[in-house]
């Protein structure tokens, strides 16, 4: 592993062999570049929330709020009029609402994967992206939850989804995958919030202490008296706000010991969730006996697709943030490479699944199944199928090339294409199978209404609003954990410029 | 560094937890009591346009339910009698009594008396009287002891849970068909009679629907 030890212990014969094959030395890139020190990291991350909001933040926030109001209008329209305002009609009774639900739930998966599985696998590069990815997960779950909640029709009866005792003496249908979904998604949401919040406690303590220090030192050098007192009041607010949220964190040794243990336990708890949530979402389709849905490949294929779209979304969010906040030393090319490679891996699994579905449709020799797949590719929805296939199968293959991975703008555009493709995947799965089922006389064509479009477009506004609030008020990256993986954190690393520290 | 929060804050979290638990308990108990049909429906006793006493007619005089509610055995809907049924007796009994003025007026004009409905299932519930009374479900199971009511009131919950309790265990409610209109019939406890009732359930093929579409058609 270490070049020092290999050099010292090999004999002459081995040395001759080594000279002959001339192995390339693989240099592991450090996770925090430019030889930054600990206080630089603390300052960099804390100042995002401590300094005044940049102009782009206000612009984005206004746009996001206006867009989010679309969802509100769409939902008011829906509830006051009835579910008929959505484009649902026999035989297609699962339209955009289910597509959007699966789309948003899928996006959340990257956060859980980064925070749970990469933590257990001791992947140091997770540290600078995990907080934002976890926030993304939670906000995506919020957006996802809206759709099935309102799809029940009478939203005021949505509490019937939970097994609560009632005067009707009835229980939810526990044999239905839709009911499993309720538990899968609510567990997922709860554990994600716990994980996100618990991981933030040390950083909230840092923000609290910095506000207290500024207040006691009284260093407010602003241009006017008004600005000065505003800055002071902001710190008073921070003192209490972060003081409450930090729950008495004192940075003590036993605090850190408990924190590490709790973090590990939560990582263990949420690891199965990475796989289970989208497996159960796929059961919504796979348990039904509809050609094109009733396939055993769905769970692994859905999970891979979810992680694929989730990492797409992480790239979509982190690349602009890196540029806007100047975080190039924290989110390095190594981080982007790794995320691109995960997109490549999961995207290839998704592409394999698309092809395997066709193979099984032929190999299974079921005429309805073969029809369902031929219809997908060449039927009335073939345009959606081609968008899905080109975005999901061809786009990630470009990540094989280093030049592509190093071109941030290109990676950003591709990351958006990935999520366009993944939305169309859910559309193709949901709608094509329903539109052309066993009975040709009942076939139909589904089109969304303006209400569908408004409600869905608005969820991007809701997601952005929540994410912008997160940027403004909560620490974007785990300060302590980044310091663990810095070259400077390893006192023995000085001899070789910190190359061994990861 | 000075403390951020004063000392009294130390007990705030536990107080908040206790308060939340109390509020939660109050909400759960409140909803359980005030939102249940036991509270919202049972005891409803509207004043009727004519002070007709079921206690006197069905109880003291022992007039059979079916004398007035004539179609209950044949029809899904159990009818409220027209005034001609009242007049079959009251053309001779108490024929000039002031309390029957409304009845006579209705009989003469043909305008029905606007009785206030007491028992009503929602429009989305299908309920068939004939099916129930012809398979040993007595009036008393849903309407209570009407023969003891001076003013008819809502005696049972008639909630979905109330229906399902019987649909799930019909043998606990079914009685011999000839006892359906005997509101004073007491459920026997000896094993022979219990077995007899279980045989009714079997022989009559009583299989009450429990699926949604059984009642929500």
* Residue range B179-194, pLDDT digits in tens: 999 999 999 888 988 8
Question: Which residues in chain B have Cβ-Cβ distances shorter than 8 Å to A239?
Answer: 4
For residue A388, what are its two tokens? 């899905």
Q: Distance from A359 to chain B by nearest Cα, in Å? A: 40
Q: Which CATH number fits domain A54-472: 3.30.428.10, 1.10.357.10, 1.20.1630.10, 3.30.70.1150?
A: 1.20.1630.10
Task: Output phi, psi for A445, to 5 deg.
Answer: -130, 130
Supply the DSSP symbol for A313: H
User: CB distance from B37 to chain A under 8 Å?
Assistant: yes
User: CA–CA distance from A465 to each of A305, A415, A471 (Å)?
Assistant: 25, 20, 10
* Helical (H) or strand (E) element with A335: helix A333-363
Which of A167, A168, A243 shows the shortest C-beta gap to B4? A243
Tell me the pLDDT tens digit for each residue of A196-254: 999 999 999 999 999 999 998 887 877 788 888 888 999 999 999 999 999 889 999 99
Contacts of A111 (CB under 8 A, 6+ apart): A130, A133, A134, A135, A136, A137, A138, A140, A192, A310, A314
Interchain proximity B4–A212, CB inside 8 Å: yes
Q: Distance from B165 to chain A by nearest Cα, in Å? A: 8
User: CB distance from A252 to chain B under 8 Å?
Assistant: no
Tell me the pLDDT tens digit for each residue of A314-354: 999 999 999 999 999 999 999 999 999 999 999 999 999 99
Which of A61-68's residues contact partners 24+ apart within 8 Å by CB, and which partners? A61/A465, A61/A468, A63/A461, A63/A464, A64/A461, A64/A462, A64/A464, A64/A465, A64/A468, A65/A461, A65/A465, A66/A461, A67/A457, A67/A458, A67/A460, A67/A461, A67/A462, A67/A464, A68/A458, A68/A459, A68/A461, A68/A462, A68/A464, A68/A465
User: CB distance from B159 to chain A under 8 Å?
Assistant: yes
Q: Distance from B160 to chain A by nearest Cα, in Å? A: 4
Q: Which of A11-24 are b and which e, b meaning 16 or more Cβ less than 10 Å from the residue's Cβ?
A: eeeeeeeeeeeeee
Which of A280-285's residues contact partners 24+ apart within 8 Å by CB, and which partners? A280/A177, A280/A180, A280/A181, A280/A184, A281/A102, A281/A105, A281/A106, A281/A181, A281/A184, A283/A177, A283/A180, A283/A181, A284/A98, A284/A177, A284/A178, A284/A181, A285/A429, A285/A430, A285/A433
Q: Which residue of A has its CA nearest to B162?
A: A168
Task: Output phi, psi for A170, to 5 deg.
Answer: -125, 160
For residue A217, what are its two tokens? 């030192």
Position A498 confidence tier, pLDDT thresholds 50, 70, 90: very low
Interchain proximity B4–A239, CB inside 8 Å: yes
Tell me the pLDDT tens digit for each residue of A399-428: 999 999 999 999 999 999 999 999 999 999
Question: Which residues in chain A have Cβ-Cβ distances shorter than 8 Å to B1?
Answer: 209, 212-213, 216
Query: Could you give the ipTM of this predicted complex?
Result: 0.77
Interchain proximity B160–A168, CB inside 8 Å: yes
Position A298 confidence tier, pLDDT thresholds 50, 70, 90: very high
Q: What pLDDT score was predicted for residue A57? A: 96
Residue A34 Ramachandran class (φ > 0 left, ψ -120 to 50 alpha, else beta)? left
Position A502 confidence tier, pLDDT thresholds 50, 70, 90: very low
Q: Are A140 and A169 in contact (CB under 8 A)?
A: no
Q: Distance from B81 to chain A by nearest Cα, in Å? A: 32
User: CB distance from A210 to chain B under 8 Å?
Assistant: no
For chain A, positions 31-90, list CB contacts with chain B under 8 A: none
Unique residue bearing structure tokens 């059961």: A283
User: CB distance from A167 to chain B under 8 Å?
Assistant: yes
Q: Please, what is the average pLDDT of chain B?
A: 92
Tell me the pLDDT tens digit for each residue of A189-207: 999 999 999 999 999 999 9
Q: Please, what is the average pLDDT of chain A?
A: 90
Q: What pLDDT score was predicted for residue A3? A: 47
Q: Are A207 and A245 in contact (CB under 8 A)?
A: no
Q: Are A274 and A68 in contact (CB under 8 A)?
A: no
Position A500 confidence tier, pLDDT thresholds 50, 70, 90: very low
The length of chain A is: 502
Q: What percent of chain B has pLDDT over 70?
A: 100
DSSP string computed for B77-105: SPPPPPHHHHHHHHTTTTTT-GGGHHHHH
Tell me the pLDDT tens digit for each residue of B45-70: 999 999 999 999 999 999 999 999 99
Q: Measured between alpha carbons, how far is B117 from B105 in angstroms, rounded to an integer?
A: 21
Which of B2, B4, B159 shows the shortest C-beta gap to A168? B159
Q: Are A331 and A424 in contact (CB under 8 A)?
A: no
Q: Measured between alpha carbons, how far is A406 from A337 in angstroms, rounded to an integer?
A: 8
Question: Which residues in chain B have Cβ-Cβ distances shorter than 8 Å to A209?
Answer: 1
Interchain proximity B2–A216, CB inside 8 Å: yes
User: CB distance from B81 to chain A under 8 Å?
Assistant: no
Unique residue bearing structure tokens 């022989």: B203
Q: Are A419 and A312 in contact (CB under 8 A)?
A: yes
Q: Distance from B196 to chain A by nearest Cα, in Å? A: 29
Angle, vertex CA A465, rays to CA A460 and CA A470, nearest 5? 125
User: CA–CA distance from B91 to each of B85, B95, B104, B109 (Å)?
Assistant: 10, 5, 9, 15
- Domains of chain A: which residue ranges? 54-472
Question: Which residues in chain A have Cβ-Cβ distances shorter than 8 Å to B36?
Answer: 167
Write down the H helix ranges in A390-476. 402-405, 408-427, 433-435, 450-473
User: CB distance from A209 to chain B under 8 Å?
Assistant: yes
Q: Which residue of B has its CA nearest to A168?
A: B161
Nearest to A237 by CA among A199, A201, A208: A208
Size of interface A-B (CB pairs under 8 A): 33
User: CA–CA distance from A156 to each of A161, A294, B23, B30, B75 (Å)?
Assistant: 11, 32, 22, 19, 36
Interchain proximity A166–B157, CB inside 8 Å: no
Q: Distance from A169 to chain B by nearest Cα, in Å? A: 4
Give this prediction's pTM.
0.88
Candidate from A27-36, A343-352, B108-117 with smallest mean pLDDT:
A27-36
Q: What pLDDT score was predicted for residue A421? A: 95
User: A169 exposed, middle or buried (CB, 10 Å; 0-12, 13-18, 19+)?
Assistant: middle
Q: Measured between alpha carbons, how far is A229 from A127 in angstroms, rounded to an integer?
A: 36
Interchain proximity A168–B1, CB inside 8 Å: no
Contacts of B17 (CB under 8 A, 6+ apart): none
SS3 A92: strand
Q: Distance from B198 to chain A by nearest Cα, in Å? A: 24
Q: Measured between alpha carbons, how far is A22 from A16 in angstroms, rounded to an integer?
A: 10
Q: Measured between alpha carbons, how far is A487 from A306 in angstroms, rounded to an integer?
A: 33
For residue A110, pLDDT over 60 is answered with yes
Q: What pLDDT score was predicted for residue B1? A: 58
Q: Choose from B3, B4, B41 for mutation: most chain A CBs within 10 A.
A: B4
Question: Which residues in chain B have Cβ-Cβ distances shorter than 8 Å to A240?
Answer: 4-5
Q: Measured between alpha carbons, how far is B206 from B135 in angstroms, rounded to an integer?
A: 8
How much helix, strand and coil, in percent to the nearest 5, is found in chain B? 50, 0, 50
Q: Measured between alpha carbons, how far is A380 from A434 in angstroms, rounded to an integer?
A: 12
Unique residue bearing structure tokens 């470009």: A398
Position A501 confidence tier, pLDDT thresholds 50, 70, 90: very low
Tell me the pLDDT tens digit for each residue of A426-454: 999 999 999 998 889 999 999 999 999 99
Q: Measured between alpha carbons, how far is A113 from A276 in angstroms, rounded to an integer?
A: 12
Q: What percent of chain B has pLDDT over 90?
A: 79
User: CB distance from B14 to chain A under 8 Å?
Assistant: no
Cα A188 to chain centroid, rounded: 13
User: B155 exposed, middle or buried (CB, 10 Å; 0-12, 13-18, 19+)?
Assistant: buried
Q: Measured between alpha carbons, how far is A76 from A69 in angstroms, rounded to an integer?
A: 10
Which of B2, B5, B37 shows the shortest C-beta gap to A167? B37
Q: Are A96 and A423 in contact (CB under 8 A)?
A: no
Q: What pLDDT score was predicted for residue A2? A: 44
User: CB distance from B98 to chain A under 8 Å?
Assistant: no
For residue A61, pLDDT over 90 is answered with yes
Interchain proximity B37–A170, CB inside 8 Å: no
For residue A451, what are its two tokens? 């209400």
CA within 13 Å, CB half, A182: 15
Q: Measured between alpha carbons, how far is A284 from A144 in angstroms, rounded to an integer?
A: 15
């Amino acid at each position: 592993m270490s070049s020092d030890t290999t050099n010292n212990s090999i004999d002459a014969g081995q040395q001759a062999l080594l000279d002959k094959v001339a192995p390339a030395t693989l240099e592991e890139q450090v996770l925090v570049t430019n030889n930054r020190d600990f206080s630089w990291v603390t300052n960099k991350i804390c100042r995002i929330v401590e300094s005044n909001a940049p102009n782009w933040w206000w612009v984005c926030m206004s746009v996001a709020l206006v867009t989010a109001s679309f969802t509100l209008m769409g939902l008011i329209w829906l509830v006051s009029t009835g579910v008929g305002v959505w484009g649902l009609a026999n035989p297609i009774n699962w339209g955009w609402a289910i597509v959007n639900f699966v789309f948003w739930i899928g996006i959340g998966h990257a956060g859980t994967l980064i925070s749970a599985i990469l933590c257990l696998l001791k992947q140091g590069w997770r540290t600078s992206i995990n907080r934002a990815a976890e926030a993304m997960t939670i906000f995506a779950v919020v957006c996802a939850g809206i759709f099935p909640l309102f799809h029940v029709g009478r939203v005021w009866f949505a509490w019937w989804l939970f097994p609560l005792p009632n005067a009707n003496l009835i229980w939810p249908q526990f044999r239905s995958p839709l009911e499993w979904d309720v538990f899968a998604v609510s567990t997922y949401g709860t554990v994600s919030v716990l994980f996100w919040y618990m991981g933030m406690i040390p950083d909230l303590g840092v923000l609290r202490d910095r506000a207290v220090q500024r207040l006691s030192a009284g260093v407010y050098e602003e241009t006017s008296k008004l600005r000065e007192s505003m800055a002071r009041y902001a710190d008073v607010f921070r003192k209490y706000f972060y003081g409450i949220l930090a729950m008495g964190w004192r940075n003590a040794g036993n605090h850190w010991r408990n924190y590490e243990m709790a973090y590990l336990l939560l990582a263990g708890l949420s690891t199965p969730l990475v796989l289970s949530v989208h497996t159960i979402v796929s059961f919504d389709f796979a348990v039904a006996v509809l050609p094109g849905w009733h396939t055993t490949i769905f769970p692994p294929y859905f999970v891979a697709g979810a992680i694929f779209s989730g990492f797409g979304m992480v790239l979509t969010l982190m690349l602009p943030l890196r540029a806007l906040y100047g975080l190039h030393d924290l989110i390095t090319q190594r981080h982007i490479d790794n995320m691109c490679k995960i997109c490549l891996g999961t995207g290839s699994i998704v592409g394999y699944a698309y092809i395997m579905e066709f193979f099984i449709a032929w190999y299974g020799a079921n005429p309805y199944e073969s029809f369902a797949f031929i219809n997908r590719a060449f039927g009335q929805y073939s345009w959606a199928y081609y968008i899905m296939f080109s975005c999901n199968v061809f786009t990630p293959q470009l990540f094989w090339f280093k030049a592509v991975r190093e071109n941030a703008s290109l990676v950003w555009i591709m990351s958006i294409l990935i999520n366009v493709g993944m939305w169309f995947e859910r559309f193709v799965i949901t709608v094509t199978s329903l539109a052309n089922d066993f009975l040709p006389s009942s076939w139909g064509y589904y089109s969304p209404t303006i209400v569908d479009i408004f409600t869905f477009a608005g969820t991007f506004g809701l997601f952005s609003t929540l994410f912008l609030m997160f940027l403004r008020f909560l620490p974007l990256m785990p300060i302590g954990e980044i310091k663990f993986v810095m070259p400077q954190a390893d006192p023995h690393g000085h001899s070789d410029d910190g190359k061994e520290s990861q | 560094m000075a403390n951020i929060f004063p000392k009294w804050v130390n007990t705030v979290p536990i107080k908040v937890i206790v308060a939340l638990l109390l509020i939660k308990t109050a909400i759960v108990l409140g909803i359980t009591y005030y939102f249940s049909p036991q509270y919202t429906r049972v005891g409803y006793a509207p004043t009727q346009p004519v002070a007709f006493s079921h206690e006197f007619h069905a109880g003291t005089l022992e007039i059979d339910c079916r004398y007035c509610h004539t179609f209950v055995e044949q029809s899904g809907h159990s009818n409220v009698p027209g005034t001609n049924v009242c007049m079959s007796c009251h053309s001779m009994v108490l024929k000039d009594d002031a309390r029957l003025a409304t009845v006579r007026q209705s009989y003469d004009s043909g305008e029905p008396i606007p009785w206030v409905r007491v028992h009503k299932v929602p429009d989305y519930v299908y309920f068939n009287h004939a099916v129930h009374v012809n398979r040993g479900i007595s009036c008393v199971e849903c309407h209570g002891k009407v023969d003891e009511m001076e003013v008819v009131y809502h005696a049972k919950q008639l909630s979905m849970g109330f229906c399902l309790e019987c649909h799930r265990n019909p043998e606990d409610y079914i009685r011999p068909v000839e006892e359906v209109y005997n509101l004073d019939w007491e459920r026997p406890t000896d094993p022979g009679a219990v077995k007899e009732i279980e045989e009714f359930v079997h022989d009559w093929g009583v299989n009450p629907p429990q699926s949604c579409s059984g009642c929500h058609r």
